[in-house]
Amino acid sequence: MADLPSFSIPTLYTPSNLESDPDLVTEITSLIKDAFARSKKSDPMKWQQGERKRFPSHDLYLEMLGSEGVAAVIFDEDVAERKVIAVAAAVPWQGGWRKEGAGIEEGWEIKAVAVDGDARYLGRGLAVQL
């Protein structure tokens, strides 16, 4: 039986941490883009209308986090170079799509959750850990 990969504990990054590490933001947004594209493959007809990319720039990812949001990241510790394998953001709740609950409800929203599509990482509960 093959050895299971070794994962880091979830590490939290503030927007200022991320602004000072653009390579990490690139890794995060690349992982999210790949996961978003992967989710479209099961129903290509639904997604044919206008190709949208998730977080085409660092600025849009940081804007989504806002000043109070955080990103939780899990790394694969078995690879020589840092490799982001799971990510999720937590941002203050601002209401739903139509701002329902805005100003009334309080709390946090979990957004932009992604796990690397490699079989070593899927089904390991990484998103839940985040």
43-71 tens-digit pLDDT: 655 555 555 567 888 899 999 999 999 99
Residue 28 falls inside a structural domain: yes
Residue 95 falls inside a structural domain: yes
Amino acid at 95: G
**Position 1 confidence tier, pLDDT thresholds 50, 70, 90:** very low
Contacts of 121 (CB under 8 A, 6+ apart): 5, 76, 85, 86, 115
b/e map 93-129, b = 16+ CB within 10 Å: eeeeeeeeeeeeeeeeeeebbbbbeeeebeebebbee
Residue 47 falls inside a structural domain: no
Residue 6 falls inside a structural domain: no
Indicate if the pLDDT at residue 127 is higher than 60: yes
CATH at 75: 3.40.630.30
Containing domain of residue 84, as a range?
A: 11-42+54-129
Residue 48 falls inside a structural domain: no
Domains: count for the chain: 1
Indicate if the pLDDT at residue 116 is higher than 60: yes
Residue 105 falls inside a structural domain: yes
Residue 109 falls inside a structural domain: yes
Average pLDDT value for the chain: 87
**Rounded to whole angstroms, how far apart are CA atoms 112 and 78?**
25
